[in-house]
Amino acid sequence: MNMPFLTAALPGIGGQMRTLPEDFQVVERPLYLPCGEGEHLYVKIRKRLLSTPDLILRMSSVLELKAQAIGVAGLKDARAVTTQMVSLLDVTPERLDRLKLDEQLLSVEVLGRHRNRLRPGHHAGNHFRLVIRDVATHARETVPLVTDMLVQRGVPNYFGPQRQGRSGQNYQIGAELLVDPARRNRLGRSKRMWYLNAYQSHFFNDMLARRLYRLDRVLVGDWAMKMENGACFLVEDAVKEQPRADRFEISPTGILFGSRVSWAVGEPGEIERAVVAESGATPESLTEAAKACPLASFSTRESPQRGPGRLTGSAARTDLVLLIRRTVRPRGYASGVCSPAVSPGKRRALARRGWAGERGEHFEQPAGGLPQSFPRRTGSEWLHMGGS
């Protein structure tokens, strides 16, 4: 399914992304700093062309440490220059001398000791610096128009196409696994979670696409999310709540179906039911199937937009190169603001969605099983500086 762009009326700027690893830089923002005591040594790692799993393997081997003793807050891209915090159990600063810096491991900085291991999600987001080369000559005029629209209305929070694999059919496998315990049990946990998650995101993207041009409007029957803490509530008076949506204090949400999540009612509920009905399912059948699937208790909703807090920084063009700086909250994706910019001309396949807080092996499940805001995850208004 090709996701429509909010900025489709504007021309795409084309261009090439990630020509060099330095064109894609990520700096993880810590949720907290080490307190100064404890059995875990926190270090800041800057690396190039080295994925987080490969970093863990390297540190495990060189430091003679079990992989389980190494903690990270999120996964970072390999084809990039990335900075992130790592926790090491029972390791002294002197032992780090075994780690030799090279063209992949650029720097290792000791931050201090802490009582707990870093775990997925223990970060405050990521700051991205992206370079898009060989953009169209009209980019200087187009980019401000696109960024203004996204700042005013929010960034559509699509799941990226990589979620569905090269064939684009991962969601179909997820649908089959949800009702086939024998087949589900033959797969490893990470793989079956990935396929089930793809099934969720398939519905989510379709729901977002149907509400794209009302992305910033709350409707009676919506589950709206408070952006400050992720708590959701049922909208009973849309006129009353709309000013809060205009200030990006709340966002309408789209469902990632599961065993405990609440479906929308009214017009939003009709949209959700229509989407799943086209696949021969109903909210009731999906809920029951999820209850019977121990790994599918993923009651949650997602936000269809990202507010201006997720589209911060600057975009500047010099000599046919577009530089984008963007800070993304946990579980948000910088890719969502680049699609629009690079648009179909040269890059129909968008960059991978592995951004802040990537947790591809898990269902999207906020604390307490509360709904999450509408079409979220990766987003795909990739600074599609327009173009359809």
DSSP 321: E
Query: Rounded CA gap, 289 and 297, in Å?
Result: 10
Task: Output phi, psi for 189, to 5 deg.
Answer: -60, -45
Q: What was the pLDDT predicted at 385? A: 36
Is 360 or 209 the better-scoring residue by pLDDT? 209
Which residues, 6+ apart, have CB-to-CB distance to 78 below 8 Å?
A: 49, 50, 51, 54
Stretch 195-201: mean pLDDT, rounded?
A: 89
Place of tokens 């002197």: 94
Is 76 or 382 the better-scoring residue by pLDDT? 76
Task: Output phi, psi for 358, to 5 deg.
Answer: -60, 130
Strand partners, 196: none
Tokens of 364: 């999207």
| 163 in Cβ contact with 342 (< 8 Å) | no
Residue 97 a catalytic site member: no
Query: Rounded CA gap, 296 and 197, in Å?
Result: 9
Choose the catalytic residue: 23, 54, 77, 134.
77
Share of the chain above pLDDT 70, in %: 75
Is 363 or 64 the better-scoring residue by pLDDT? 64
Measured at the CA of 219, the angle between CA 272 and CA 271, to 5 degrees, comes to: 15
Query: Rounded CA gap, 220 and 257, in Å?
Result: 20
Asked if pLDDT for residue 264 goes beyond 90, the answer is: yes
pLDDT tens digit sequence for 346-357: 211 111 122 222
Asked if pLDDT for residue 364 goes beyond 50, the answer is: no
- Residue 274: left (phi > 0), alpha (psi -120 to 50), or beta? alpha
Query: Rounded CA gap, 11 and 383, in Å?
Result: 11
Q: What was the pLDDT predicted at 311? A: 36
Which residues, 6+ apart, have CB-to-CB distance to 104 below 8 Å?
A: 47, 48, 49, 50
Distance from the first to the final alpha carbon of the chain: 14
Instruction: Name the residue among 62, 364, 338, 310 with its Cα closest to residue 198.
Output: 364
Q: What was the pLDDT predicted at 190? A: 75
Q: Quote the mean pLDDT of the chain.
A: 78
Measured over all CA atoms, what is the biggest interatomic distance in the chain, rounded to whole angstroms?
A: 62
Of 6-10, 77-81, 111-115, highest mean pLDDT: 111-115
DSSP 213: G
Asked if pLDDT for residue 83 goes beyond 90, the answer is: yes
Number of Cα atoms under 13 Å in the Cβ half of residue 346: 14
Its pTM stands at 0.71
| 128 burial type by CB count under 10 A (0-12 exposed, 13-18 middle, 19+ buried) | buried
| 246 burial type by CB count under 10 A (0-12 exposed, 13-18 middle, 19+ buried) | middle
Instruction: Name the residue among 227, 235, 233, 387 with its Cα closest to residue 306.
Output: 227
Strand partners, 110: 43
Which residues, 6+ apart, have CB-to-CB distance to 68 below 8 Å?
A: none
Q: Please, what are the domains in the chain? A: 32-120 (3.30.70.3160), 163-297 (3.30.2340.10)
pLDDT tens digit sequence for 9-58: 999 888 888 899 999 999 999 999 999 999 999 999 999 999 999 999 99
